[in-house]
């Protein structure tokens, strides 16, 4: 049987959002993908619910963080990709503030 961590990682990779509502697991995403994971989620429900209730969530996208190395944005835990995207957006919006991060700028 697949571990709860692996199942959560697979759900996230498939673009499925999860939530625990009144002790029940709720999945949101493309219907065919949700149905393809339904049986696995039922079999591993207890472990998955324990993991989800103890997990950290990304403050930028709201999804569970299953990465081993945590990244932060503004002191809050985020997915690495979300943090990189937020940094790129901030750098584009405020180039003068991030001038020292630009590779092609002289120091």
Residue 42 CA: distances (Å) to CA of 4, 13, 14, 37, 47: 11, 19, 17, 9, 10
Give the pLDDT confidence score for residue 78 in this predicted structure. 87
Give the pLDDT confidence score for residue 31 in this predicted structure. 86
Give the pLDDT confidence score for residue 103 in this predicted structure. 57
Per-residue pLDDT of the chain (107 residues; tens, 9 = 90+): 788 888 888 888 888 887 666 677 888 888 888 888 888 888 888 888 887 777 777 888 877 777 776 777 788 888 888 889 988 998 888 887 777 665 554 54
Q: How many CB atoms lie within 10 A of CB 40?
A: 16
Give the pLDDT confidence score for residue 19 in this predicted structure. 67
Give the pLDDT confidence score for residue 47 in this predicted structure. 86
Is-contact 81 60, C-beta < 8 A? no
How far is C-alpha 92 from the geometric centre of its chain's CA atoms?
A: 23
């Amino acid at each position: 049987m697949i571990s709860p961590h692996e199942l959560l990682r697979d759900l996230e990779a498939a673009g499925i959002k999860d939530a625990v509502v009144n002790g029940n697991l709720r999945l949101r995403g493309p219907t065919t993908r949700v149905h393809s994971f339904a049986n696995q989620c039922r079999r591993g429900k207890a472990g998955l619910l324990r993991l989800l209730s103890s997990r950290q969530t990304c403050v930028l996208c709201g999804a569970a963080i299953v990465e081993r190395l945590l990244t932060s944005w503004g002191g809050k835990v985020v997915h690495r990709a979300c943090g990189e995207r937020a940094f790129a957006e901030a750098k584009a919006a405020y180039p003068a503030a991030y001038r020292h991060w630009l590779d092609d700028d002289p120091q």
